[in-house]
A and B are shown apart, each in its own frame.
Chain A
Amino acid sequence: MAAASTSGSGRDIGGSGGGSAAGEMEVEAYRRLFPLPFYERHLLDSVRPDARPLHRARDTSVVLGPVASADGSALVKIGDTTMLAAIKLEVMTPSADAPDEGSLAIEFHMPPICSPIVRPGRPAEVAPVISKQLSDVIVSSQMINLKELSLISGKAAWMAYLDIYCLNADGSLFDAALLSAIAAFSHLQIPLVSLSDDGKVVAVSGDLLEDESTPELVNKERKLLLHSIPFSLTCILHKKYILADPTAEEESIMETSITVVLDSSEQLVSIYKPGGPVLAQTSTVKDCIVLTKHRMKELQNILEESLSAMEVV
């Protein structure tokens, strides 16, 4: 590699901390050795190393139905962070205290392919945390009415298993996971079933509809009705700056993060700020909520586009 730095040659890298290693230094080396001063130089100009303004999130894309064998699935990419969510439905007997409700089981996995820090012997610490956060948000936002998952009251109901796999971990894992969960639920097609003679619930292929006397679930509507859909945005706080949608590098350098979840009627579902060196004032929290509102509109558009693209096919 050439000794001269690319865009920073001759720039006086003075300033806090490791700035005393001034003079010619390769930008990449400076970024690794003194990450915080590197970022602060960018923040002074209200921009980040990947040329994003502070409040802009990375390019997001949603693909519905990548896993053909699942009842509902979605692949979501926010920048490089990639999540694959898939839902499988199984029939089960509902519990005695909720005989006409189905149930939901949400699991979040971070297999070793997603990041160099995750190893077979040592699973990622954040995985169970995000798993719990996801369950809490999806249940408390009441996006899904469990009664819609019921088949025969007291005897049969759907158990929806949602598995989310992180295929590439580059920051904002919770946002991507939540978006993939919602996309998978929007894509979910509940299979048609009928009651066989010995009382078992049996899957029915589309053609043989009319014959059996059927407690067909939700009749012709094989899709779940999603009520108030939650959308989230994670922001990093550093001194007086708020950075929206951090990458893994940003998350590791500036540790204070705050995640705000709003539902589609702009009601607050959850705020999560797990400690961190920076203390947030009310104004900061309000700014984060405003940023989340903007982000929510973007995400709603993206989700609608992918849903309509799917219907055309």
Chain B
Amino acid sequence: MEYLDSLTGFRLDGRRPNDMRQIRGEIGVVAKADGSALFEMGNTKVIAAVYGPREVQNKSQQINNQALVRCEYSMANFSTGDRARRPKGDRRSTEISLVIRQTMEACILTHLMPRSQIDIFVQVLQADGGTRSACINAATLALADAGVPMCDIVTSCSAGYLSSTPLLDLNYIEDSAGGPDVTVGILAKMDKVTLLQVSKLIFLNAKCCISLIL
């Protein structure tokens, strides 16, 4: 399948290789949450809610000198092309929950809130590739909306390599093409990388992808 039109250089959805999809963010969408945000990257829509800092619910997990950060990632049943019954604790969800938690934990100033708990819940409403990145971006906005002290804003994006060209911000069709893809999470002002996940490493190409994202 031709992911990049050889004549015009456009991708399947008419973007150029280093064009991102249209992004849109909105905070304060869930009134009951301490902080919440709705983030869209093209057709991928994600909603994040933050509850905290609040009292630790499971006292055995309480940490005495910093806050406990918990994260749960789930996808709505109608979010992808086929309606799939998603058991909550399936491997992919658990892995992504862990990734988001560790990414956000790196930038939250947890030592300022000992013996407390910060819950980040992320729900994917529509999935069209790049859900991991959209979730991190949404979680950052929600944490900011909740007033949780952070050292920097985390932004994230994904890229891949198809038809011998690095492509930025893959959608679902490009993502399932089977080429390598890389997701990067960066602390914006401090210019440091918190998250780097590469699948199918093909060394040179991964470097192009990463420099594309940065």
Contacts and interface: CB of A to CB of B under 8 A. Distances in A.
Contacts of B70: 120
B80 to A, nearest CB: 7
Contact of A168 (B31, B43, B76): B31
A248 to B, nearest CB: 8
Interface string A108-134: 010111111001100000000000000
Interface string B33-52: 10010000001010111010
B83 A68 contact: no
Nearest to A72: B78
A165 B126 CA distance: 13
Contacts of A66: 125
A170 interface: yes
Contacts of A39: none
Nearest to B76: A165
Nearest to B43: A68
B161 interface: no
A73 interface: yes
B57 interface: yes
B79 interface: yes
A116 B76 contact: no
Nearest to A87: B78
Interface string B63-86: 000000010101011111111000
A169 B51 CA distance: 14
B32 A114 contact: yes
Given A111-B121, A113-B47, A163 B32 contact: no
Contacts of B31: 80, 168, 170
A69 B32 contact: no
A68 B45 CA distance: 10
A116 B51 contact: yes
Contacts of B127: 69
Contact of B83 (A113, A119, A161): A161
Size category of the binding interface on chain B:
20 to 34
Given A80-B32, A168-B30, A69 B126 contact: yes
Contacts of A165: 76, 123, 125
A84 B77 CA distance: 12
B121 A67 contact: no
Contacts, number: 88
Interface residues of A, number: 31
B105 interface: no
Nearest to A248: B32
Given A67-B125, A168-B31, A86 B47 contact: no
Nearest to A120: B72
B78 A167 contact: no
Nearest to A119: B57
Nearest to B84: A88
B112 interface: no
A40 interface: no
Interface in A238-296: 248
B145 interface: no
Nearest to B83: A88
A97 interface: no
A121 to B, nearest CB: 8
Contacts of B45: 67
B30 A114 contact: yes
B48 A113 contact: yes
Contacts of A224: none
Interface in A147-176: 161, 163, 165, 167-170
Given A80-B31, A112-B49, A68 B126 contact: yes
Contacts of B47: 113, 167
Given A69-B43, A120-B72, A168 B78 contact: no
A26 interface: no
A70 B78 contact: yes
B32 A115 contact: yes
A67 B78 contact: yes
Interface in B70-115: 70, 72, 74, 76-83, 88
- The 8 A-B residue pairs with the shortest CB-CB distance in the complex, in nearest-first order: A113-B49, A86-B78, A88-B83, A80-B31, A113-B121, A112-B121, A163-B77, A70-B78
13 contacts: A67-B79, A68-B43, A69-B126, A82-B30, A84-B125, A86-B78, A109-B76, A113-B48, A116-B32, A120-B72, A167-B30, A168-B33, A169-B32
Interface of A: 66-70, 73, 80, 82, 84, 86-88, 90, 107, 109, 111-116, 119-120, 161, 163, 165, 167-170, 248
Given A112-B121, A161-B83, 4 more contacts: A68-B126, A69-B78, A84-B76, A86-B76
